[in-house]
Amino acid sequence: MTLIPLPAQAADVPFPTQAWPEGDLPAGLDRARFDALMDQGFAAFGETHAVVIVQGGRLIHERYGPEHGPDKTCMSWSKAKSITQALTGILVGDGKLDVFAPADVPEWKTPGDPRGALTLDLLLRMSSGLEFSEVYLPDQPSDTIAMLWGPGKDDVAHYAADKPLAYAPGTFFSYSSGTTNIVARTLARAIDAYGPDFEAFMRRRLFEPLGMTSPQPKFDAAGTFIGSSFCFTTARDFARFGLLYLRDGVWEGRRILPEGWVDYARTPTFQQPDCEEGPYGAHWWLGRGGPGSFSANGHEGQYTVVVPDLDLVFVRHGRTPLELRDGLKDWMGEMVELFR
């Protein structure tokens, strides 16, 4: 398929490494409709903590809920998965990893174990076929809850990697936080860095070059980055992360992500015809802001939506109950559509 081209940063707009260059909402924007939708966004979907909009590399609008502001970190939940995807790309660029080779997972090393053939590509595309129940309700059986807060919490990657295959690899899309934690440990094994050492790698190679000073990644007792769920970050810093992807992994003339890595993230993954989720790329969701867009999404309504044809990044954080999730998605689609 043909992907919408990613726009370059305008020569007269600095990257927001130190501070965000600011701009105005577009002159042709329906401001009355924009204001009404923004009011709705802070009133109708549970709690909305932050909305940050960047266009052309400039911060053009931000609004915060009670007890929140530009310096307040927000829950990432599964937006951390897209950070894990970026870290994977960095190590691919370093020659430390090959996403199409069998992943380095100790639990799968027994001769004859079919899981031993699983690649990082299958894991990043949530197509490994591994059994995992991605449920967030305490009254239902949930591998996610057991992994993050129950018997698996001290070694999240082992908990997930110990699961059997439920489907033939590559034939069934199944969104799984366990999958991401397997990936996160694979990254640590590739550079022999765990806990504080891995965090130092994250900061040195990803956060600091972008001017992201707020991220607070969380680790389990085994020293694995809980890349499925936990990297507290301000909305402005999540916008910086989105801008990196909008700029094809290049920041201030320096290539942070290898060439083609952003396109890999936004290339659609096979999903079975009756799949209720998606579309999905490689640890990024697709289409949330219209055709060609891609996004880092998290539980309870965390979003960083990247819209190449509008040169736009739209960030939303809050706590939206499950029953209001579809309405929130529609709201974000309407907000982005106003800029067309």
| DSSP one-letter string for 134-202 | ----TTS--HHHHHHHSTTTT-HHHHHHTSPBSS-TTS-----HHHHHHHHHHHHHHHT--THHHHHHH
Lowest mean pLDDT among 1-5, 41-45, 249-253: 1-5
Query: For residue 285, what are the CA distances in angstroms to 79, 88, 273, 311?
Result: 10, 17, 17, 18
Burial label, 269 (beta-carbon count in 10 A; 0-12, 13-18, 19+): buried
Q: Which amino acid is at 87?
A: L
Residue 266 reports pLDDT greater than 80: yes
Instruction: Tokens for 209, please give them.
Output: 């070059």
Count of other CB atoms within 10 angstroms of residue 18: 8
Instruction: Tokens for 139, please give them.
Output: 């009254």
pLDDT for the residue numbered 138 = 73
Write out the H or E segment, with its range, that includes residue 58.
Answer: strand 58-64
Q: Which amino acid is at 275?
A: C
Query: Which contacts of 267-276 are long-range, i.e. CB under 8 A and separated by 24 or more positions?
Result: 267/1, 267/3, 268/1, 269/125, 269/126, 269/127, 269/173, 270/125, 270/127, 270/170, 270/173, 271/173, 272/171, 272/172, 272/173, 275/173
pLDDT for the residue numbered 188 = 98
pLDDT for the residue numbered 108 = 98
**What's the average model confidence in pLDDT over 283-310?**
97
pLDDT for the residue numbered 141 = 86
**What's the average model confidence in pLDDT over 243-255?**
98
83/227 Cα distance (integer angstroms) = 7
As a whole-number percent, the residues of the chain with pLDDT over 70 amount to 100
**What's the average model confidence in pLDDT over 248-259?**
98
Phi, psi of 158 (to 5 degrees): -65, -40
Cβ(213)–Cβ(17) under 8 Å? no
Instruction: Tokens for 55, please give them.
Output: 């266009």
**What's the average model confidence in pLDDT over 81-104?**
98
Residue 75 reports pLDDT greater than 80: yes
pLDDT for the residue numbered 140 = 82
**What's the average model confidence in pLDDT over 298-316?**
98
Instruction: Read off the pLDDT of residues 110-154 as tens digits, 9 standing for 90 and up.
Output: 999 999 999 999 999 999 999 999 988 777 889 999 999 999 999
Residue 17 reports pLDDT greater than 90: yes
**What is the pTM (predicted TM-score) of this model?**
0.97
**What's the average model confidence in pLDDT over 33-47?**
98
pLDDT for the residue numbered 41 = 98
Among residues 124, 133, 132, 135, the alpha carbon closest in space to that of 170 is found at 124
184/188 Cα distance (integer angstroms) = 7
Looking up tokens 């401001």, which residue turns up?
Answer: 31
**What's the average model confidence in pLDDT over 161-186?**
98
pLDDT for the residue numbered 137 = 76
Residue 1 reports pLDDT greater than 80: no
